[in-house]
Structure 1
């Protein structure tokens, strides 16, 4: 029997208090035949995706593109703030900031900072700062890119980080044993809980996350250990994104299905 399935089964038996279904309501669908990787959508109904290693921002009226071949592959894209989009080029230890027109505003090279930083994971924080995990010190830090101030705020994290997600006030991560942790802007680390083996994950807040396993989508509440199945029509999907009550599902046929859902 598949090891991932066993771990997932035992998680449900051991932790789940309730396994109710949440049924989102179909909103609309769009086709993006040229997309290689779907990133997400913002509150203004702009959609972001990767095509030929370029970031594309698209809506019904405009289509914008940013590409920087000199920095290699785009590792991650953070659209938490659509006015300050964050691209991570891991191979070149670099971060690029874009405005809402996809104009480049800032390039941060970890090799050129006052203290050498090897960016392993990054994300946007509040007040013109970037969350990062430094593979050299194994610490989480904050970099203020307007003033060029850098501060390591955590103790060394010895376990492997499988997922690293951020919002303005917190960074969250999942370690190799599927333990979930968070850290605030002052460096306080707290354990949130545990999740099953998962292929994809998005934190809604410090109490909830969406995760996908075996092409099924679930909502997990860390406080009461409640799991809700998200009942969608798609039996197969590539990835998903949630923003302000809208769940976007990217299918293998390069279409995006939007649902309204209350989490």
Structure 2
């Protein structure tokens, strides 16, 4: 019995004392694009090239969307493939596309009542977007069908670096803190930012970048652990389930994370 207890203690200690995350290289693919938007479980690839959004299927067929009248596309979010949102910050405007990249909604924050001056946009649940309102320095959950703000967070006191979301949560990274909100708008965590500049999410897990290193935060744990990777130029990174993609401007590297 003592022996069994001792073994259980060792297993528990090993799990709880994990100090880093290992990553096994699956493959590397030559690619030259401006920006990766998303890679889903069906190997559908969304990317930007010359201010055009492309959707490339597993079989190599692709479709695209462009709107040069709106200038440069600031961000593209394909988390919900049925409601892809494209943000054009210079025009303070969002275009919503369906899965065929056809326009289904246009959101002009200049004509919204009240007016919104937006710097970040991310996907919400139903007909909502998470937006960061520069004038009030606050995160808002905006229903673009009813033109109503469902939730406004307490204003933040530092520069916003990144905004990520899924149907259940939203993460706001500022120079001082990483905030997490649920879809009701309640803040459920606030972690001091110790130098992270970018984030990516999948299924509640987070990947964070600090200088030339990537870190992993499990959705059920507070620890933020470094990922063991070879020295790479990390231009972009994405997390899909437990698969980490890193783009170095020449190759797209695919890694399997080994998460305890």
Mapping for residues 154-193 of structure 1, pairs under 5 Å:
154-177=153-176, 179-193=177-191
Instruction: Please list the CA deviations of residues 58-100 of structure 1 after superposition, one character each: whole Å capped at 9, or x if unmatched.
Output: 2332122111111111111112112211111111100111111
2:239 corresponds to 1:242: yes
The answer for the alignment partner of 1:57 in structure 2 is: 55
Q: 1:1-263 maps to which residues of 2 (within 5 A)?
A: 20-33=19-32, 35-59=33-57, 60-177=59-176, 179-204=177-202, 208-221=205-218, 225-233=222-230, 235-253=232-250, 255-263=251-259
- In structure 1, the residue corresponding to 2:110 is in which secondary structure? helix
Contact residue 139 and residue 152 of structure 1 kept, 8 A: no
SS across alignment from 2:69: helix
Displacement of 1:234 in angstroms is 5.0
* C-alpha contact (below 8 Å) 2:74/2:89 kept by paired residues: yes
Moved more, 97-106 or 229-238: 229-238
1:216 and 1:235 in contact (8 A); partners too: no
Deviations 1:24-82 (A, max 9, x none): 2333333322x012223112111122111111222332122111111111111112112
Structure with greater Cα Rg = 2
What are structure 2's unaligned runs of at least 5 residues? Answer: 1-15
Given the superposition, is the C-alpha separation of residues 216 and 176 from structure 1 closer, same or farther in structure 2, using an over 3 Å criterion?
Answer: closer
Shift of 1:235: 2.5
Q: Cα distance 1:227–1:19, how it changes in 2: closer, same or farther (>3 A)?
A: farther
Given that 1:72 and 1:91 are in contact with CA atoms closer than 8 Å, whether structure 2 keeps it comes out as yes
The whole-number CA distance in structure 2 between the counterparts of 1:30 and 1:112 is: 44
Count of residues in correspondence between the two structures = 243
Residue pair 2:22, 2:258 contacting (<8 A) in 1 also: no
CA distance in 2, matches of 1:182, 1:214: 22
Q: Which runs of 5+ in 1 are unaligned?
A: 1-16
Q: Match of 2:11? A: none
Mean CA deviation greater in 115-124 or 58-67: 58-67
TM-score (norm 1): 0.82
**Separation in structure 1 between the aligned mates of residue 68 and residue 245 of structure 2, nearest angstrom:** 29
| 2:235–2:247 Cα contact (<8 Å) kept | yes
Q: Contact (CA 8 Å) 1:19, 1:226: kept in 2 or not? A: no
Q: 1:176 to 1:25 in 2, by over 3 A?
A: closer
